[in-house]
Amino acid sequence: MKRRVLFVCTANSARSLMAEALLRYMAGDRFEVASAGTEPSRPHPLAIQVLQEAGIPTDGLYSKPLAEVQGQYWDYVITLCEKAARECTLVASGAQQIAWDFPDPAETNRHATFALTLKELKERIGLFTLVHEKETGLKQASYNPVTIFKAMGDELRLAALMLIKDQEKLCVCELTEAFEVSQPKVSRHLASLRDAGLVETERRGQWVYYYLNPGLPEWVARILDETARNNVELIEQPLARLQTMADRPVVHCP
């Protein structure tokens, strides 16, 4: 399952765009990545040039405001300057915030400076992916029973899992309404379920939907089926609140 990473700097014209392209190129099989700016402008020509010279695809790169990504689920929000670190704290309250501080190469407007920034970003991102691989590389495939039962051992997590199973797909705002708890709390519990390999995510427009991992081992799927069948009271009240939710998002099939 891919982790979602958002890079943020001021203009979203150089550092964060280069970081987005680098992570997608280096580990796009493990990460879903985007970037945004607190005061977005447009991609700097030298940023695009040094990426292309390094053989890194630049298709689809564009500068965007934080508002375009706010409200989406992110596992990591990585800021690349102090200004962005101060201004993006509310972008994704459930995400792990990481602050990197790279000088803005646009201030010199020199090819050599952009090339150096790209090199330093590549080294930092390489370390980031290595640490992530060590922390989570085997967790999803192993389905250790202790990990599974620990994930389901919290009442809210178990009820959320049962509600997702019942409704097939739910977004954070729906679960927040159903359980009458804060968005950060829901996001933290969903992250635990995702870390255990019980749920996966799918983005549709501005919404990120959670659904049961279709690759669950038979023994895990059987436990979920039995739990749902014999404990309907777990989701009675949340389901009632969900069914009366105003302006509920609608999942549109592709």
**Could you read off the pLDDT of 208-227 as tens digits, one per residue?**
789 998 888 889 999 999 99
Domain with CATH 1.10.10.10 in the chain: 145-244
pLDDT at position 204:
66
What per-residue confidence (pLDDT) applies to 202? 77
pLDDT of residue 254: 39
3-135: in CATH 3.20.20.140: no
Q: How many beta carbons lie within 10 A of that of residue 12, not counting itself? A: 29
pLDDT of 141 reads 45
205: left (phi over 0), alpha (psi -120 to 50) or beta: left
| CATH 1.10.10.10 at 145-244, yes or no | yes
Using CB atoms within 10 A of its CB, is residue 200 exposed (0-12), middle (13-18) or buried (19+)?
middle
- What is the structure's pLDDT at 117? 95
Q: What are phi and psi of 215, to 5 degrees?
A: -95, 20
Mean pLDDT, each 10-residue run in order, the chain (254 residues)? 88 95 90 92 96 92 89 86 70 76 92 95 90 54 81 94 94 91 85 86 74 88 94 94 85 44
Which residues are annotated as catalytic? 9, 81
Verdict on whether the full-model pTM lies above 0.85: no
Cite the residue boundaries of each domain of the chain with CATH code 3.40.50.2300.
3-135
